[in-house]
Amino acid sequence: MQHKPANTREKIHELIQNRWSPRAFDPNKPVNHDDLLALLEAARWAASCFNDQPWRFVVGNKAMDESAWQRAFETLVEKNRRWAKNAPLLILSVAMGHFNHNGQPNRWAMYDPGAASTSLCLQATALGLSVHQMGGFDADLAREVFKIPANCQPMAMMAVGYQADVDVLAEDFKATELAERTRIALDERFYAGLWGKRME
């Protein structure tokens, strides 16, 4: 299995440093129910505008409800199916389009589920689990198979499980799995007071 801590410019918490998105999952190791609930609890306590919590998560647990897992799996693009087939959990994040307290459109509805998903990912890392978030899925099909209301937006599918050896992957995925993690330089993405003014 790969341990790929981020090579950071500044010291950060090891939980953040060690979080990454593998594709190699152990198909024979399910996630126990208590750990699944801990992931969802971490997401539940994320910050949100007006504390509206405009996220919903649809869980497909292969060990407990294979048909729900299969519905999630069928929404994935073919490239993602090739490796996500081994993940014991597939979790769809959904953004609610309107505020609960006044029914008005929620401009932050897509931002807040991202915060909740990050909390889920960090909790997974703390539990020795891995998460790989995917944009490569059919949102319209997900809406249909999970009966998602029209004012809600499917955002991302997450594969969750225990990391496996890279040998479970097809050859064309192995190089990416083994490659060093990289990020664009901090001063190229974070600005000091004005757009484009680089941080020192």
Cβ atoms of 164 and 26 within 8 Å: the answer is: yes
pLDDT at residue 92 in the model? 98
Could you report the per-residue pLDDT of 175-196, keeping only the tens digit for each? 999 999 999 999 999 999 999 9
Q: In the predicted model, is pLDDT for residue 125 greater than 80?
A: yes
Distance CA 143, CA 137 (A): 11
Average pLDDT over the chain, rounded to an integer: 96
* Per-residue confidence (pLDDT) for residue 200, from 0 to 100: 82
The average pLDDT across 66-70 equals: 98
Find the length of the chain.
200
Measured in whole angstroms, how far is the alpha carbon of residue 100 from the centre of its chain? Answer: 24
Containing 159, the helix (H) or strand (E) segment is strand 152-161
Supply the pTM of this predicted model: 0.96
> What pLDDT does 3 receive?
87
Mean per-residue pLDDT, 111-124: 98
Three-state secondary structure of 83-119:
HHCCCCEEEEEEEECECCCCCCECCCCCHHHHHHHHH
Check if the beta carbon of residue 87 is closer than 8 Å to that of residue 28. no
Closest CA to 158 of 10, 58, 52, 41: 58
Alpha helices for the chain (secondary structure H) = 14-18, 33-44, 66-74, 78-84, 111-126, 139-145, 171-178
Distance between CA atoms of 84 and 134, rounded to whole angstroms?
A: 10
Average confidence (pLDDT) over 134-145: 98
Residue 117 backbone phi and psi in degrees, to 5: -65, -35
Measured CA to CA, the distance from residue 89 to residue 35 in angstroms comes to 12
Residue 106: is its pLDDT beyond 90?
yes
Q: What is the pLDDT of residue 7?
A: 94
